[in-house]
Structure 1
Amino acid sequence: MDQFDLLVVGSGPAGRRGAIQAAKLGKKVLVVEQGKRVGGVSVHTGTIPSKTLRETALNLSGWRERGFYGRAYRVKQEISAEDLRRRLLITLDHEVEVLEHQFARNRVQHIRGKASFVDPQTMQIVKDDGEVVTVSAASILLAVGTKPFRPDYMPFDNKTVLDSDELLEIEELPRSMVVIGAGVIGIEYATIFSALDTQVTLLDPKSTMLDFIDKEIVEDFIYQLRDRNMKLLLGQKAEKVERLPNGKVELTLDNGRHITTDMVLFAAGRMGATDTLNLEAAGLEADSRGRLSVNPETFATKVPHIFAAGDVVGFPSLASTSMEQGRIAARVAVGAIAKEPPKYFPYGIYAVPEISTCGLSEEEVKERHIPYECGIARFRETSRGHIMGLDTGLLKMIFSLKTRRLLGVHIVGEGATELVHIGQAVLNLKGTVEYFVENTFNYPTLAEAYKIAGLDAWNRMGDIKSEL
C-alpha cells in the first residue's frame, strides 16, 4: 500500500492548488482524478468552457461593435456550434498542458480513477482498466466539485433537453431556448445565447434573481436584458416539460401558459459529487445537495485529518475562492501556518453584460445601520466608453459617511470582472473616497469611471478638509 502525506481527490481549482501547495512544502502528494484529463469540472465543463464560449460568441457575433455598426452587424454571418467548439478545444488543450506541467515540475503524482473510502485514512482507487489500487495518507483533501442537478421529471435527451454540462456538445445552435434557473449558470448561458441572436426565455420559480448582488446593479442588468428582447418569466414554474414529435419541446407553466421552444437548458442548481466516495466509511455524511460541512477557517471536516474545499463545500462556489480554499486546507493539513485571507473577495458573473462586486451591497449597509453615501459613474460618461461605443455600463461605490472608507464596489458592464480589482485593493487596504478623488487614472480608460464615481460621492459627502 502506497503512503502519502496528502491525498487529493479531484484536480479542479481547489484540488490542484492544494496539491501544488503541499508539494512546495516538500510533502509527498497524490492527486486522483476520475475524468479523462486533469482539470476537473472547472477546465472541462464549467468555468473555462463557459467563459471561452462567451468570448467566442461575442467575437464572432460582433456584439461589442454593434453600438457603432447597428444590431445587424456580425463578424461571421453564419455561426455554427462547430465554430464555438473549435476555440473551446484549443483553450482546453492549453489549460490541461499547463496543469500537467505544473504537476510535473512540482513532483505531484496523479492517477486516473474513481476513489472511495475504505476507512478514514485509506482510499481505494478503481482505474479505467479495472485495476484496483489502495493508498493511505496522513491527510486527505476532498475537492470533488459538483455535477448538475438532474430531477426525474425533466426528460433529458442530450439534444433538446440538456443540463449545463451537455450544452457544450450541441451540434447546432437553437433558434429559441428556454433556460430554467435564474442562478449564475443559467444567467450566463442565457445571455451568451441571446448575444448569438437565439430567442431566449429565462424561467425561475423565484420572483427575484441574484439576491446576493446589489439591487441597483441587478435592476440595471435586468433592464439591459429586456431591452434586447430577452423574456424574463420570474415567479413562474414549469410543471410539465414534454418533447414533441416535431423535435421541439413544450413547457406547461403553473399559471397555465404554454411555451414551445427548440431547446431547454435546465440549470437549476448543482449537486456535490460525493455519492461515489463511500463517505460513511470515513465517518462523514453529505447534506441533501451532496455538500460537505467544514470549518470555514481551516476547511477541516468533522474528521480532523479529512478536509474539503471548492464547490463541494457550497457558497461562493467560485474558481478563485476554491483555489484559495484548497491552498489553506493543504497548509493546515500538512501542519503549516495558514493566514486568513482578506475579508473581501470579488464575485464575478460572466454574463453579457458582466457583473462583478466586492464588499457590502447597499442593502447590507442599510441592515448594519451604517450612515453612507453612494457614487455612481456610467460608462457612457467616459471617453473610453465613447470610443468603444458603450451605451450601457454602471459603476457604483458605497462609502461610510463617518470614516469615508470604501465599503463596497459594484459594476455591471463591459470589463466589470477586470475593473473590480481596483476597488478590491482599495477596500482591503481600507482606502477612503479621497483616494479616487486625488489619484490620476489613465485616460481614456474605463477605469476612469472610478474617478467619476469617487467625485460623485465626494460632492455629496462634502470636503472633510474644509469642515475641519
Structure 2
Amino acid sequence: MGENSHRIPSGILIGAGSLVNYDVLVIGSGPAGESAALNAIKHGQTVAVIEAQEQVGGACTHQGTIPSKALRHMVRSAIAFNNTPIFRDIGDPRTLTYPRLLSHTNEVISRQVSMRSRFYYRNNIRVLRGQASFLDERAVSVQTHDGKVERLTAEKVVIATGSRPYRPDNIDFDHPRVYDSDSILKMTNTPKKVIVYGAGVIGCEYASIFSGIGIKVELINTRDRLLEFLDDEISDALSYHLRHLGVMIRHRESYSEVECSDRQVLLKLESGKRLHADALLWCNGRSGNTEALNLDAVGLKTDHRGQLLVDEHYQTSVPGIYAAGDVIGWPSLASAAYDQGRAASASARGKEQCRFVNDVPTGIYTIPEISSVGQTETELTEAKIPYEVGRAFFKDTARGQISGETVGMLKLLFHVETMEILGIHCFGAEAAEIIHIGQAIMKQTNGGNSLRYFINTTFNYPTMAEAYRTAALNGLNRL
C-alpha cells in the first residue's frame, strides 16, 4: 500500500481547528468506533474521531479480519484450482508464495481504507490521526502524527481502541523469525516450517493458510481440544481436516522457553519436547489497547489484559464514558463490534433501551470454514433439554457436487416436542453465509422458530441452502 493512499485530512470541517467541543468523541476508527461515530452524526450530533494509526479502519482492516481473510481466500482459490482435474489441461499446479499472498491482501486493505475514508468525509466527521490521552472525564489531549498537540472536549466519549496480540516478556518479538498476528503480515519470505503457538481462532486460521500453500505447520494447543467452545462434532471435523492438510497438532502443551538463532527457532515445551522451525507465530491471547489513554486521570481501571468493564448500556464505571469492541473483551468479533459501537452511541445520547450484543454467530475462516449459532449438544445435554439432531452432508447435495465443495456438513439441533431450533452448526464451504438462513428462523417469535419451516419452504435447486431441508427431514426421521 502506497504511503499516500487514501489518508483522511485532519481538518475535514471548515474551521475544524477552532472547533474543540463535540457532543461525542470517539477514540478508535475500527468497526466499533466507525459505527459509533456514524450513528451519532446521523442523529444530529457533532463528532470527532481519533485514530492512532496512519489510516482509518483499525486493527480489523490493517492487522486482523480483513488481511487474514484475504490471505485465506487466495489460498482456498489455489487449492480449488489444484484439486480440479479439468484444470490440469491448462497447466501445472499453481503454487503461491507468502509474499504473493500479501500483495493481494494489501490491495484489499487499500480498497477498505478508501471506502471507510469516504464514510467520514461524506458525513463531515473530523478525524485526527494521533494518540489520545485523557485529561479528565470530558477532555482529551491528542498528540498528532505531525507533532502537534490538540485539546478536545466532549459531552460523551466512546473508547473503541481495539486490541493487539499479547506478548509475553520472555519472548524476543524483535527477532526476525518470531511473529505475532500483526507482524506476520510483514513477513517477506516463505518458510518451510512454522510453529503456530496457540490454537484459538487466529491460530487455527493461520495454520490453514500456511498449510494450504505447502508450509509445514506444528500447531500447539494449550487445551484438550481445538476450539472447545464449538460443538464436539465440529471441533473433531476441524482437527481431522487440519491433519489432512498436513498440520501436526499437539494438545495439552505449554512453552517453557523460546530460543532463536540465525538459522532457526527452537520452542521448548514444559513436557520436554523440543520443536524446531524456520519461524514462530505467536497466537496466544490479545490485550486491550488502553495503556496510553491515561485512564488514571478519569479513575478507570482495566483487567489484567487491559480490557474495560462495561454495563448493559456499554457505559464504563465513569458516567459519560462508554466502551465497545475488542477493548471490552468477549466476543472480540468485528461483527459484534459494529453493533456494540452503535449501541454505545445510542446510550451516550440518552436512549434508554439499547441492544446488548450477546447472541453473535461464530465465523471461523479455517479451510474449510466453520460457523455456528445457538447451543451445542454438550450444553443441551447438561441442561437436560430433550433434543434431536438433523444432518445434511455437502457431498450429498447437487450444488456441492457441481462446485466440488463436497467437504462439510450442516447440523440442526431441535427440541423433540416443540420443534424449536436450538442450535445450528455448519462446517464447510460458505458456512459463515449459510448459517444466517437458520439464524433468521431462530430469531422468529410466536411459534415461528420451527424445524418445520424448512420442510414447508421450497428452496432453489441446486443450492447449498437446500441442505436445511435435507437436515430437517433427517432430523424428523429420527423421531
Q: Does 1:294 align with 2:315?
A: no
Over 3 Å counting, the alpha-carbon distance change for 1:444 and 1:294 in structure 2 is same
Show the counterpart of 1:216.
233
Equivalence for 1:155? 172
| Aligned mates of 2:416, 2:357 — CA distance in 1 | 23
Q: Which residue of 2 aligns with 1:97?
A: 114
Q: Is 1:263 the equivalent of 2:279? A: yes
Q: Is the 8 A contact 2:95 2:213 kept in 1?
A: no
Q: 1:16 to 1:76 in 2, by over 3 A?
A: farther
1:185 has 2:202 as partner: yes
Moved more, 196-205 or 21-30: 196-205
Residues 1:34 and 2:34 are matched in the alignment: no
Deviates more, 1:34-43 or 1:340-349: 340-349
* Structure 2 Cα separation of the partners of residues 69 and 219 of structure 1: 32
Q: Flag as ranges the 4+ runs of structure 1 deviating above 6 A.
A: 73-76
CA distance in 2: counterparts of 1:28 and 1:12, whole angstroms:
19
Q: Select between 443-452 and 34-43 the one with higher mean Cα deviation.
A: 443-452
3-state SS, counterpart of residue 115 of structure 2: helix
Quote the offset at 1:76 in angstroms: 6.3
Displacement of 1:389 in angstroms is 2.1
Count of residues paired in the alignment? 457
Please say if 1:116 is aligned against 2:158.
no
Q: In the alignment, which residue of structure 2 is the partner of 1:466? A: none
* Structure 2 contact 225–235 (Cα < 8 Å) conserved: no
Q: CA deviation at 1:226?
A: 1.6
Tell me if structure 2 keeps the 8 A contact 1:179–1:202: yes
Deviation at 1:84, TM superposition (A): 1.2
Write the letter of the residue equivalent to 1:262. Answer: D
Name the residue aligned to 1:2: 20
The offset of 1:96, in angstroms, is 0.8
Equivalent in 53, 57, 64 of residue 46 of structure 1: 64
Which residue of structure 2 lines up, in the alignment, with residue 465 of structure 1? none
- After TM superposition, the structure 1 stretch with the greater mean CA deviation from structure 2, 380-389 or 342-351, is 342-351
Normalising to structure 1: TM-score of the pair? 0.94
2:188 counterpart (171, 174, 193): 171
Shift in Å at residue 408 of structure 1? 0.8
2: CA distance between counterparts of 1:338 and 1:41?
29
Change (3 A) 1:65 1:387: farther
Paired residues of 2:81 and 2:94 also in contact (CA < 8 A): no
Pair 331,76 (structure 1): closer, same or farther in 2 beyond 3 Å: farther
- CA, structure 1 residues 365+178, in 2 after alignment: closer, same or farther (shift >3 Å)? same
Residue in 1 aligned with 2:7?
A: none
The CA distance in 1 between the partners of 2:195 and 2:115, in whole Å, is: 36
Q: 1:322 aligns with which of 337, 343, 348?
A: 337
Aligned partners of 1:174, 1:224: CA distance in 2, in Å? Answer: 22
What letter is aligned with 2:167? R
Of 217, 220, 228, the match for 1:203: 220
2: CA distance, partners of 1:189 / 1:234: 17
Counterpart of 2:322?
307
Task: Report matched runs for 1:58-457 at 5 Å.
Answer: 58-59=76-77, 61-63=78-80, 66=83, 68=85, 77-157=94-174, 159-245=176-262, 247-295=263-311, 297-336=312-351, 338-340=353-355, 344-429=359-444, 430-457=448-475
Give how far 1:81 is off: 2.9
Residues 313 and 356 in structure 2, CA contact (< 8 A), matched pair in contact too: no
Q: 1:153 to 1:76 in 2, by over 3 A?
A: farther
Deviation sequence 1:49-82 (CA, Å, 0-9, x none): 11111112222x23465164799x9976342233
What's the TM-score, normalizing by structure 2? 0.92
CA distance, structure 2, for counterparts of residue 397 and residue 30 of structure 1: 45
The percent identity for this pair of structures is: 40
Check whether the contact 2:158–2:345 (CA below 8 A) recurs between aligned residues: yes
Q: Once the two structures are superposed, what CA deviation does each residue of 1:119-157 show, in whole Å capped at 9, x if it has no partner?
A: 111110001122110111100000000011111121223
Post-superposition Cα deviations, 1:10-55, rounded to whole Å, max 9, x if no partner, equal: 0000000000000000000000001010110000001111111111
In the other structure, the counterpart of 1:464 is: none
Contact 2:212–2:245 (Cα < 8 Å) also in 1:
no
Question: For residues 168 and 369 of structure 1, what CA distance do their matches in structure 2 show?
Answer: 46
> 1:387-446: per-residue Cα shift (whole Å, max 9, x none)?
122342011110011211111100111110110110110111142111111211111111
> SS of 1:417's equivalent?
helix
CA RMSD, 1 decimal: 1.9
- Whole-angstrom distance in 2 between the partners of 1:335 and 1:342: 18
> Unaligned 5+ residue runs, structure 2?
1-18
Post-superposition Cα deviations, 1:143-190, rounded to whole Å, max 9, x if no partner, equal: 000011111121223531111100011111111111000111111111
In 2, distance between residues paired with 1:352 and 1:331? 38
Alpha-carbon distance, 1:326 to partner = 0.2
1:258-289 Cα offsets, whole Å, 9 max, x none, are 21111110010010000000111111011000
CA 1:74–1:423: 2 relative to 1, 3 Å: farther
CA distance 1:75–1:388, change in 2 (3 Å) = farther
Structure 1 stretch displaced more, 26-35 or 128-137: 128-137
Cα shift readout 1:189-238 (whole Å, capped 9, x = no counterpart) = 11111111111110022222212111111011111112232110010122
Any idea what SS the aligned residue of 1:113 has?
strand
Measure the CA separation in 1 of the matches of 2:91 and 2:454.
Answer: 38
Structure 1 residues 337, 98: CA separation in 2 closer, same or farther (over 3 Å shift)?
farther
* Aligned-partner SS, 2:208: helix
Name the structure 1 match of 2:10. Answer: none
Q: Structure 1 stretch 252-261 or stretch 309-318: which is displaced more?
A: 252-261
Amino acid at match of 2:405: L
